[in-house]
């Protein structure tokens, strides 16, 4: 299970927004639907997910109805604030959303439609593990309006999958992609690199196999060791090696080379798409500071500068809603300094970058020249007034942010 929730101010039982929070019709609105169930807990995972033995009274077969209760509450809260806008993106994440029947996911999506409306051109994504995808499931999801599937491939190499505690076979990825394609869905494949025992040749195999599936979008994330996970304990006991930063950098460069050669362009540090039309619009809404409501246990939301987060356990979440109360555990409104820092952190990660003029201080703006000289920021873009990371800058993105916010 995930780490502790943030420390913030208490959230009111009715979930009402503060009077000073007034969302704008000009700001896009997205919806995140968290499905917190997994068959097996992967050793590296720190997400708020639960296997059957960890549910302690919560029931998967009642989950859709419970979440619909939060959707109804959100409709009341946002209606009072004059902030009902159609969802531009909807994202089912987890956990493993496809552990629930497709009909349950369809009912949740219908709940969003009824409460807020869904834009005609909305991007509607479902995350899936390869071994939960069948042609029947995908056809039902497509009929409900889903138009994009994000498949957790992680690797094509059996010993790497084993090191990550992934249970699917590499062959399942191909059948899952084929099912999604047959139903007319866009396909994204998610990869992780730097697992214990994974070498550069293993990673090349995964990349080449990924490209052979001809996806529209690829995410590739360096393995991060999260405190409290099984993998962290294994590393602390010396049973497996910690990730090698230099090897992970080589893996990133190899990915960028092979994906560019195959016609993909990076649009965020860890994400590549086959043309702008296949970017993840939902994730871009996070990086660009749009509004969204996250439904489900442990889900986070952001509306007009206010953030809040739900109680973590599915049983506690269900209990709150059964009493007619908001499941929010706490909330906060970042001050101007925090917002400025986060804007640099998020906007510099995307291909369009950030306007130099929007940096938080004169010193930060003056420091851009040094970052160009160090090869971290593209010089031509800087002359045009934008901070756009070079590939070396993407590898050292945290250092760039520190330099721009010191």
Q: How far apart are CA 238 and CA 162, in angstroms?
A: 18
Residue 2 binned pLDDT confidence (cut-offs 50, 70, 90)? low
Q: What value does the mean pLDDT take over residues 264-268?
A: 98
Alpha helices in 30-187 (DSSP H): 63-80, 102-116, 135-144, 158-163, 170-182
Report the pLDDT value the prediction gives residue 5, as an integer from 0 to 100. Answer: 75
Query: Domains in the chain and their CATH numbers?
Result: 29-287 (3.20.20.70), 335-406 (no CATH)
pLDDT at 1: 46
Residues 6+ positions from 3 with CB-CB distance below 8 Å: 46, 226, 227, 228
Q: Which contiguous run of DSSP H or E holds residue 218?
A: strand 217-222
In the three-class reduction of DSSP (H, G, I as helix; E, B as strand; rest coil), residue 75 is classed as helix
Reported pTM: 0.96
Q: Can you tell me the mean pLDDT for 22-37?
A: 96
User: Does the pLDDT at position 82 exceed 80?
Assistant: yes
Q: Give 100-118 pLDDT, tens digit per residue.
A: 999 999 999 999 999 999 9
* Distance linking the first and last C-alpha atoms of the chain: 34
- How do residues 202-259 score in pLDDT, each as one tens digit? 999 999 999 999 999 999 999 999 999 999 999 999 999 999 999 999 999 999 999 9
Bridge partner list, 30 = 89, 292
Write out the two tokens for 229: 């996970």
């Amino acid at each position: 299970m995930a780490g502790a929730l943030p420390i913030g101010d208490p959230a009111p039982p009715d979930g009402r927004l503060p009077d000073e929070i007034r969302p704008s019709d000009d700001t896009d609105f997205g919806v995140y639907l968290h499905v917190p169930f997994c068959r097996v807990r992967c050793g590296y995972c720190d997400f708020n997910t639960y296997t059957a033995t960890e549910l302690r009274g919560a029931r998967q077969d009642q989950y859709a109805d419970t979440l619909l209760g939060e959707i109804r509450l959100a409709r009341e809260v946002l209606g009072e604030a004059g902030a009902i806008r159609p969802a531009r993106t909807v994202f089912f994440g987890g956990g493993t959303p496809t552990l629930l029947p497709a009909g349950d996911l369809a009912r949740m999506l219908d709940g969003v439609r009824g409460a807020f409306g869904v834009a005609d051109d909305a991007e509607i994504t479902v995350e899936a593990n390869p071994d939960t995808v069948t042609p029947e499931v995908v056809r039902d999801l497509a009929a409900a309006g889903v138009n994009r599937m994000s498949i957790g491939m992680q690797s094509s190499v059996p010993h790497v999958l084993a090191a990550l505690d992934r249970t699917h076979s590499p062959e399942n990825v191909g059948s899952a992609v084929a099912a999604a394609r047959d139903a007319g869905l866009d396909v994204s494949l998610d990869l992780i690199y730097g697992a214990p025992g994974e070498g550069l040749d293993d990673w090349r195999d995964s990349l080449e196999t990924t490209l052979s599936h001809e996806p529209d979008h690829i995410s590739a994330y360096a393995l991060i060791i999260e405190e409290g996970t099984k993998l962290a304990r294994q590393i602390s006991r010396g049973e497996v090696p910690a990730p090698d930063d230099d090897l992970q950098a080589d893996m990133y460069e190899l990915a960028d080379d092979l994906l560019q050669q195959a016609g993909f362009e990076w649009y965020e540090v860890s994400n590549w798409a086959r043309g702008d039309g296949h970017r993840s619009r939902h994730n871009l809404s996070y990086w660009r500071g749009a509004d969204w409501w996250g439904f489900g246990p442990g889900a986070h939301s952001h509306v007009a500068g206010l953030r809040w987060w739900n109680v973590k356990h599915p049983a506690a979440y269900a209990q709150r809603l059964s009493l007619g109360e908001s499941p929010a555990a706490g909330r906060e409104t970042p001050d101007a300094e925090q917002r400025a820092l986060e804007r640099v952190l998020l906007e510099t990660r995307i291909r369009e970058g950030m306007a130099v003029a929007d940096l938080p201080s004169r010193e930060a703006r003056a420091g851009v020249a040094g970052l160009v000289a160090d090869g971290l920021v593209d010089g031509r873009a800087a002359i045009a007034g934008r901070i756009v990371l070079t590939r070396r800058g993407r590898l050292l993105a945290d250092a760039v942010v520190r330099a721009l916010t010191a």
